[in-house]
């Protein structure tokens, strides 16, 4: 179960259906964001928030354009890290 959960997360899925209570822990662990993902999300949100306060709708971070839609996903990373 743990291996399948890690693979599905790597493919972009956000969760799995479970049929047994013993699957909850391994799947939760597999989907929990890594420390690196959390750090990156905080950094990107901070840069975007600074740009937004200056009236910008998007910001370039590591050769990637970040806008409000991206920030929703990064805030989800932080939320998932807390649960």
pLDDT of residue 83: 76
Q: Give buried/exposed letters for 58-81 (b at 16+ CB in 10 A, else e).
A: ebebeeeebeeebbeebeebeebe
Model confidence pLDDT, tens digit, residues 14-68: 899 999 999 999 999 999 999 999 999 999 999 999 999 999 999 999 999 999 9
Give the DSSP letter of residue 62.
T
pLDDT of residue 3: 95
How many whole angstroms separate alpha carbon 26 and alpha carbon 18? 11
């Amino acid at each position: 179960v743990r291996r399948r959960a890690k693979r599905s997360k790597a493919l972009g899925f956000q969760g799995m259906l479970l049929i047994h209570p013993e699957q909850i822990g391994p799947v939760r662990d597999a989907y929990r964001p890594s420390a690196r993902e959390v750090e990156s999300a905080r950094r990107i949100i901070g840069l975007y928030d600074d740009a937004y306060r200056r009236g910008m709708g998007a910001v370039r971070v590591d050769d990637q354009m970040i806008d409000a839609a991206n920030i929703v996903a990064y805030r989800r990373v932080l939320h998932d890290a807390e649960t």
